[in-house]
Structure 1
Amino acid sequence: MDAATLDELRTLRARAYGPSADIDQDPAALQRLHELEARSSAPDAPASEEADLVVSAEPAPIQARPGETPVPRGAEDVLVSDEASSTEKEAAPARTRKPRRISGRSVALWTLSVVGAAALAAGLTYSLTAVSPVDATTGVTQIDTLEPDPFVELPSGWFGAGPSSVAFEYYGLTLFESAGGYSGYGTDCFSVVGSEQLPEPGADTNSWTMSGVIYSGCRAGAFPATVQFVVDSNAPQQLRDRFPADSALQFIFDGSRIGVFLAPGDS
């Protein structure tokens, strides 16, 4: 193997084993590396060709200095120091290693792991973004705030009313605080009835009946007690005179006052 071929072999090895190895991207160079390494490891190839040798630029033989051994190669004399020879022999096995190739199975497993990680990330992203916020009162306008009316008389025990229950009046409706055990489960419960359904003072509430509609609601944790309905023929006349048919009303009790909300598009 001549000097030019050795230089080519060194260059190819640097591309295969060096820190900036890129020979895997050049099939022709990789094939050439295999050919030259096969030639360099042939039985008739001088062992000195496996090391990085300093070739004299002069055609005449060069005398060896103390500690150096001349190694003949063809018509040239190459000087190799004892220390360099030892270093080159130790480094030779590393140079003769062939480029590592990634098996198809490893590539497939790596691809699956990347795809799986991407799918997991996509799933987590979807789970965090798929729940869109919903405002329970979107587009609803508060039109009134009701304060307790001290002149409303409610018989104790009537539809859950207690001795100290607060009451409110609103366009023919009576809204009053009621016991949770009657109108539902929770706290801050209240009921809504037509004012004409209220019993006379002193009436026996144990035998009282009513023909109208009654609504009720209770607080559940952070959710306030709420009653909502559509104004129809069952509503008191005062309420129908104030709001057109099919108007949607919502009443929210905060424990002391009641907010009245009207759905958009109604008047």
Structure 2
Amino acid sequence: MGSGRIPADGALEAELTALRARAYGVDADIDADPVALARLAELEELHAASAARAGQAPDGAESSSARDPARGERLGSPRRSRPWRGSRKAAFVAGAAIATGVALAVAGWMVWTAPRPDAVLQATEGRPSEQVLRLTDYARRQMVDKSTLRAFEPILGLEVWSARSGLGNDCLLVIEPVTDDLLAAGCVPAPAQPTVEIYNVPVAWMQTWTQELPTGSVLRFVRNGDTVEVWIYEGRPS
């Protein structure tokens, strides 16, 4: 506890200001320092008495009854409520919500504007015919396991099949049944997606699917999980 002596004005103000900062500032820590706490109470009393003698209210301080721990209130109580913290938290939450909304909007726009396949073929319960089994033999370089053949919905008269190879790769095959042709076959290891392409060139004019598209068109088949995506790129003859 101090001696009760009022120091020179400059020293009093400097010490009182420093102690008030420790008691009411953003990084208040005076609760853990009983000596400083007692000194603050003492200086507040001295400051209040000095101001009363001068006929003024004490500058920058509450009444001593609000600050004196001996009168039933804890000096460090201003730490219990700091509106600036709530405001900062609210601002942070609002900012995070806005950022999330913008991110979702951008993601939605990207999904909406992303290229989409012209058709998505679903798997069926179809069983491979003798023709399919025979044509699959032409994919011997891919080592297609015929016992794993799985049918998908047809498109433009074409049959689409998936399978596994003897090496464990995923395979995709496209068959033209009218001309009895295996048009494309490809196998790739996971997680790559099997992708094959067929071309509408003049020598293929007898194939049914070529009658639906201009010469130079390309059909791309991409195995995507339990579906096959079909991308159609129409040719532009000169």
TM range (shorter): 0.3 to 0.5
Larger Rg: 1
Normalised to the residue count of structure 1, the TM-score between the two structures is 0.35
Normalised to the residue count of structure 2, the TM-score between the two structures is 0.39
